[in-house]
Amino acid sequence: MVINDLKQVCQQCAGSGRQAAFSEWGIAQINPDGRCHTCRGRGFELTALGHELLELLRPFVEEIVADRQPAPPKEAQDEAP
């Protein structure tokens, strides 16, 4: 398996992650933050296999994130009902 099995270059922005404008109902609109709407500025999209891998790893990532959350301050714990 290679990384290109998991992701593919965004067709909308050709991998730049940038999009100066977009078309809505056939009318060109300026894109305020300049990020590609399709890939959210990443420049690539996940393939179906990429999405599967993401779902496989999601619980582990959530565990890591939860472990990194700082414990609430002592006062906040005391005030809790």
The residues binding Zn ion (CB under 5 A) are 10, 12-13, 36, 38-39
User: Could you tell me the smallest distance in angstroms from the CB atom of residue 1 to Zn ion?
Assistant: 23
User: Could you tell me the smallest distance in angstroms from the CB atom of residue 54 to Zn ion?
Assistant: 18
Residue 47, burial from CB neighbour count under 10 angstroms (0-12, 13-18, 19+): middle
Q: Which is nearer to Zn ion, 44 or 53 (CB)?
A: 44
User: Could you tell me the smallest distance in angstroms from the CB atom of residue 20 to Zn ion?
Assistant: 12
Q: Which helix (H) or strand (E) holds 24?
A: strand 21-24
